[in-house]
Amino acid sequence: MELDGKNAVVTGAGHGIGSAIALDLARNGANVAIIDRKQDAETDALSAEISAMGRRVLFLCADVANFKDAGEAIERVVKELGSVDILVNNAGVNRDAVIWKITEEQWDEVISINLKGYFNYIRAVAPLFRAQGSGKIVNVASINGMRGKFGQGNYAAAKAGIIGLTKTVARELAKSNVNCNAIAPGMIETEMMKALPEEAKHKALEEILLGRMGKPEEVAWLVTFLCSEKSRHITGEVIKVDGGQYI
């Protein structure tokens, strides 16, 4: 398998896109450390499914916005699994509001989780990747970080920041044989998307050339490719998974 013997860390892995990413990495041979802010029936089921594949799985409850938690989580992964080879930053929230109504708390929460959280985990793995001379980093951004979105100033700003962070880290870690890329999903069928007003979902569907929302596994397949040796000459890229929604 593509990722036999590799150890992957996936933030926000307990649900939705993150869960699909963790499962696909495991199907392709990776051991997986699941980082999520709470343990529940879904995270337990995910851990059991990965374990049933014969992979090692580690669940860690952590607040990705907490710098100290991130460092301690990576230390625990190294202690339990032996190394870290792959980091997938996926954890995120949305607190939508137009700019004249958004609160400071809504702004700070989204930036802290969706952007600072990515920095926290990249900062934690960067010394390890430099020392071992290899590593794969995949950051989940959004097409709305590339184009903006009405009512999502905080979310779009964070996702745009992820793109800038991705390109910078790609430059800084290239000499250590580390690939750092971002993916930019469009409308994907998750619980977060299902909670949107019907009007918003209808407008999004009108934008998508393929006429349907994407599925979490369609994002996961690209992540697995970017974590494999088949992508070894790809770095600093932002790849859309949106059925043509951005066009």
Q: Work out the mean pLDDT of the chain and round it to a whole number.
A: 95
On the question of pLDDT at 117 being above 90, the answer is yes
Whole-number percent of the chain with pLDDT over 70 = 100
Among 118, 121, 155, 246, which one carries the catalytic annotation?
155
- CATH of the domain spanning 7-240, picked from 3.90.960.10, 2.60.40.10, 3.40.50.720, 3.60.21.10: 3.40.50.720
On the question of pLDDT at 196 being above 90, the answer is no
On the question of pLDDT at 1 being above 80, the answer is no
Q: With bands split at pLDDT 50, 70 and 90, how would you rate the model's confidence at 163?
A: very high
Residue 118 is a catalytic residue: no
Tens digits of per-residue pLDDT, 90-100?
999 989 899 99
Task: Give the C-alpha separation, 16 to 29, whole Å.
Answer: 21
For residue 238, the model assigns a pLDDT of 98
On the question of pLDDT at 201 being above 90, the answer is no
Query: Would you say how long the chain is, in residues?
Result: 247
Q: Which among 42, 35, 43 has a CA at the least distance from the CA of 11?
A: 35
On the question of pLDDT at 199 being above 90, the answer is no
Tens digits of per-residue pLDDT, 210-228?
999 999 999 999 999 999 9
3-class DSSP assignment, residue 92: coil
Domain boundaries, the chain: 7-240
Residues near 25 by beta carbon (within 8 Å), at least 6 away in sequence:
3, 8, 10, 32, 86, 88, 220, 223, 224, 227
Evaluate whether 94 touches 111 at the Cβ level (below 8 Å). Answer: no
Q: Which among 35, 45, 95, 86 has a CA at the least distance from the CA of 65?
A: 35
Tens digits of per-residue pLDDT, 34-60?
999 989 999 999 999 999 999 999 999
